[in-house]
């Protein structure tokens, strides 16, 4: 954790979040908010506003986006907002595409980071977590390891803040994950928000869940969960891939323009006012 806060005490206060489902907030359901989710980035924005009133926040992330989409659709709008704080997680969906050229992916990622770092904003990057979804995906671990090694080096090269998601042991608990096993649960998003705030030196009261050890599943229960997961998540995912569509195709950014985050009531209060 930094000795002193990294964010400016005065001047322009704009926080822009870029990326895919990880940053959009998938897994942290909240029907009162845009796209029906909340997520760690909303929580960070709300804590920023409590610590330093006047922060504005835009979240351009949309689920299923590949790195090329983030560059094409989110980069220029983000730069135009002249942010003081930028968060970026990108490339996770590309890793799951078996035809992805990892060397080319990381070269494009580095160019994106260079553009963002060139703004002078505080830039936060993330490594990827080794999600234990299925033994079928274990071959992708090498790609994840390569991705993380490059992200760490790129963060150091460009003076970015690194949230080393790979090393957060709390996420080994299955309760930190949503039913699809790929996205964080509400508890996971909340915990990650605390990790980001710690890196930025922003005070907060987010604490890890004080859970008892998870109950062990019997074979029959495990088989039932596996069947439900395959029917509810795996088969629809492959169906979308075959049809060439994604869950993000019909969605727009949750907060496409910087909104002033209320110090009390947070973004839910803002959403209620907008809907009224």
pLDDT digits (tens, 9 = 90+) for 215-253: 787 888 878 877 887 887 778 877 887 888 899 999 999
pLDDT at 29: 96
* Nearest in space to 122 (alpha carbons), one of 20, 201, 203, 61: 201
The residue with tokens 């299923």 is 64
Q: Do the domain assignments include residue 19? A: yes
pLDDT at 98: 82
Which comes out higher in pLDDT, residue 32 or 11?
Answer: 32
pLDDT at 125: 98
Q: Do the domain assignments include residue 155? A: yes
pLDDT of 83-114, one tens digit each? 999 999 999 999 988 899 999 999 999 999 99
Distance from C-alpha of 58 to C-alpha of 263, rounded to nearest angstrom: 16
pLDDT of 29-51, one tens digit each? 999 999 999 999 999 999 999 99
Q: Do the domain assignments include residue 3? A: no
Q: Do the domain assignments include residue 231? A: no
pLDDT at 233: 74
Residue 24 corresponds to which tokens in the numbers above? 């959009």
pLDDT of 176-215, one tens digit each? 999 988 899 999 999 999 999 999 999 999 988 777 877 7
pLDDT reading at 3 higher than 50:
no
Q: Do the domain assignments include residue 32? A: yes
**Domain region containing 179:** 14-209+252-270
Q: Do the domain assignments include residue 8? A: no
Distance from C-alpha of 61 to C-alpha of 44, rounded to nearest angstrom: 15
Domain count, the chain: 1
pLDDT at 274: 81
Q: Do the domain assignments include residue 237? A: no
Whether the CB-CB separation of 251 and 62 falls below 8 Å is answered with yes
What is the average pLDDT score of the chain?
A: 90
Report the residue count for the chain.
276
The four Cα atoms 254, 258, 260, 261 give a dihedral, to 10 degrees, of: 40
Query: What CATH number does residue 194 fall under?
Result: 3.40.50.1110
pLDDT of 106-152, one tens digit each? 999 999 999 999 999 999 999 998 766 555 556 678 889 999 999 99
Q: Do the domain assignments include residue 242? A: no
Distance from C-alpha of 12 to C-alpha of 272, rounded to nearest angstrom: 26
Distance from C-alpha of 56 to C-alpha of 244, rounded to nearest angstrom: 36
pLDDT at 34: 96
């Amino acid at each position: 954790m930094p000795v002193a806060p990294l964010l400016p005490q005065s001047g322009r206060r704009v926080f822009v979040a870029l990326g895919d489902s990880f940053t959009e907030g998938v897994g942290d359901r909240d029907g009162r908010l845009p796209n029906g989710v909340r997520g760690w980035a909303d929580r960070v924005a709300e804590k920023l506003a409590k610590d330093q009133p006047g922060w504005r926040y835009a979240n351009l992330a949309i689920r299923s986006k590949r790195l090329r989409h983030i560059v094409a659709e989110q980069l220029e709008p983000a730069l135009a907002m002249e942010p003081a704080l930028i968060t970026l997680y990108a490339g996770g969906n590309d890793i799951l595409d078996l035809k992805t050229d990892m060397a080319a992916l990381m070269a494009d990622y580095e160019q994106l980071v260079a553009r963002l770092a060139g703004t002078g904003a505080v830039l936060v990057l993330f490594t990827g977590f080794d999600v234990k979804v299925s033994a079928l995906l274990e071959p992708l671990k090498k790609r994840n390891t390569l991705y993380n090694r490059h992200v760490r080096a790129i963060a150091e090269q460009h003076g970015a803040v690194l949230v080393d998601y790979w090393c957060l042991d709390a996420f080994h608990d299955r309760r930190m994950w949503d039913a699809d096993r790929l996205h964080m649960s509400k508890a996971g998003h909340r915990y990650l928000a605390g990790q980001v705030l710690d890196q930025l030196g922003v005070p907060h009261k987010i604490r890890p869940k004080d859970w008892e050890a998870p109950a062990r599943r019997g074979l029959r229960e495990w088989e039932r969960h596996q069947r439900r997961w395959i029917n509810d998540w795996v088969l629809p995912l492959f169906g979308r891939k075959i049809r060439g569509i994604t869950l993000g195709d019909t969605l727009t950014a949750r907060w496409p323009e910087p909104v002033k985050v209320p110090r009390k009531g947070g973004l839910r209060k803002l959403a209620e006012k907008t809907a009224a």
